[in-house]
Amino acid sequence: MDYTEKKLRRLNTYEGIIINVGLDRVRLPDGSEAFREIVEHPGGACILPVDGEGNAYCVRQYRYPIGEHLLEAPAGKLERGEDPLVCASRELGEETGFTAGRIVPLGAYHSSPGFSSERLYLYLALDLSRGEAHPDEGEFLDLVKLPFSELLAMVRRGEVSDGKTAIAVLQAAHILAGE
């Protein structure tokens, strides 16, 4: 059966700096109508750097919406029409100072498809060369180096609550194990 919902009209819209929010009236497969709140997001890219000694590099930063400091793989928002790999490489340099000799795609995932259009592209950065980090203006973060095995254990224990980072670590574990 086809469960596609058809948008009848947008009732309300908020246009923000990063996101737009809409309230849509839709027709359901059974013919009835319902409302859907939609957050339109341009998407982003996340890149997990791992050096030749098996150390992973994450950033710790404060996330205002949840009021917590999170451990995350470097990531950023896609600019309009930007290739996700270009975005990931840019964020790697800005947040860590690294450049990667090799970048391995880890897949693309929807962060919360029940209400958001955000799609995140994940990468593993290998063969790292050190440079100087240059975070965006207004971006405050600390670079955290830890053995990849410990980061993987933290994900498995539920100590990494950032979804994109947890998925990237789990995907990277397969690549690093030679699977």
Which residues carry out catalysis? 137
The amino acid present at 108, given as its one-letter code, is A
> Which DSSP symbol is given to 89?
H
User: Pairing mode, if any, of strands 119-129 and 44-49?
Assistant: parallel
> Which DSSP symbol is given to 53?
T
Nearest-angstrom CA–CA distance, 21 and 17: 11
Nearest-angstrom CA–CA distance, 179 and 94: 30
Dihedral sign from CA coordinates of 91, 94, 97, 100: positive
Nearest-angstrom CA–CA distance, 150 and 152: 5
The amino acid present at 33, given as its one-letter code, is E
